[in-house]
Amino acid sequence: MSEAPAPTRSQALQYRFAAHIRDDGETPLAAIEERRLKIYRELFYNNVEDCLSNAFPVLRKLSGDAAWHRMVRDFFARHRCAAPLFHRVPEEFLAYLKDERGERPEDPPFLRDLAHYEWVELALSISPLELTPALADPNGDLLEGCPMMSPLAWLLAYAWPVHLIGPDHIPAQPPVEPTYLVVNRDRQDRVRFMALNPVVARLLNLIEAEPDASGRTLLLRIAGELGHPDPEAIVQQGAQMLAQLRERDIVIGTRRP
């Protein structure tokens, strides 16, 4: 296998310039005046830091200035972004938190859960998908037909109650039960969240996993899993919940034949 050609002098200078910008001047670069280099360093870093502050507002508020900038500087210096689009930087930040940052004593234990939850809102808001009548029959019978979950609705489970975390509520321990949420973008392009109990979370999970099953079949499955003595009562309660989910554009109707 042939070796890659050595970089040209111009390429080598560009690599050193990029390294100098990323590591805040640790890589020496005598070929350019320091005053100008400082402008470049601040410009590049401030753009990335501003992007992350806007994408993760709660995390930013909970982090002291020094701790926040240490984390963003570390991301800026170490992580190699695979996506060339600027709005993908928050997603790259999640990859850094998951695979590169490791455990740091100054990080809150809910760091990754909270960051992911905040990123979901951004990801749904910029998704090119649209809710059109062609996707499903919006007036279909949700019991006898096969309910369809919106492609702009994400079923999520976290160890921490991420939707409640803020400056006035910083939990020290995760609750015993997971936190189930569905976050969706509705037909008015509003991104909304809904906290779920385990039964409704199971219903949405089954709708995703078994697209050819009717709403009645799925609800009877849940009644069996619960060992409920009156399965029809679960079906009727489930029908009301399916109607509420349709009103919120989480379920967008029934699958067309």
| Parts of the chain belonging to CATH 3.90.930.50 | 147-254
Q: Quick check: 5 pLDDT over 80? A: no
Confidence of residue 13 (pLDDT cuts 50, 70, 90): low
- Mean per-residue pLDDT, 236-241: 97
Give pLDDT tens digits for 49-68: 999 999 999 999 999 999 99
Give pLDDT tens digits for 141-168: 999 999 999 999 999 999 999 999 999 9
Cβ proximity of 83 and 62 under 8 Å: no
Token representation of residue 209 = 């996993």
Q: Quick check: 1 pLDDT over 60? A: no
- Mean per-residue pLDDT, 183-194: 97
Looking at residue 70, what is its pLDDT?
A: 94
Q: Assign domain 147-254 to its CATH architecture.
A: Alpha-Beta Complex (3.90)
Looking at residue 29, what is its pLDDT?
A: 60
Q: Quick check: 246 pLDDT over 60? A: yes
Q: Give the residue, 170 or 86, on which the prediction is more confident.
A: 170
Q: Supply the mean pLDDT for the chain.
A: 90
Q: Is 133 exposed, middle or buried (0-12, 13-18, 19+ CB in 10 A)?
A: exposed
Between 52-61, 127-136, 201-210, the lowest mean confidence (pLDDT) is in 127-136
Query: At what angle are helices 231-247 and 198-209 packed, to 10 degrees?
Result: 80
Place of tokens 């949700």: 142
Enter the pTM of the model.
Answer: 0.88
Residue (of 55, 241, 29) closest to 143 by Cα position:
241
* DSSP assignments along 114-174, one per residue: HHHHHHHHHHHHH------TTTSBTTS-TTTS-EEE-TTEEEEEESS-TTT-BTTB--SS-
Percentage of the chain beyond pLDDT 70 is 87
Confidence of residue 4 (pLDDT cuts 50, 70, 90): low
Give pLDDT tens digits for 73-103: 999 888 888 776 788 999 999 999 999 999 9
- Mean per-residue pLDDT, 14-33: 65
Looking at residue 214, what is its pLDDT?
A: 98
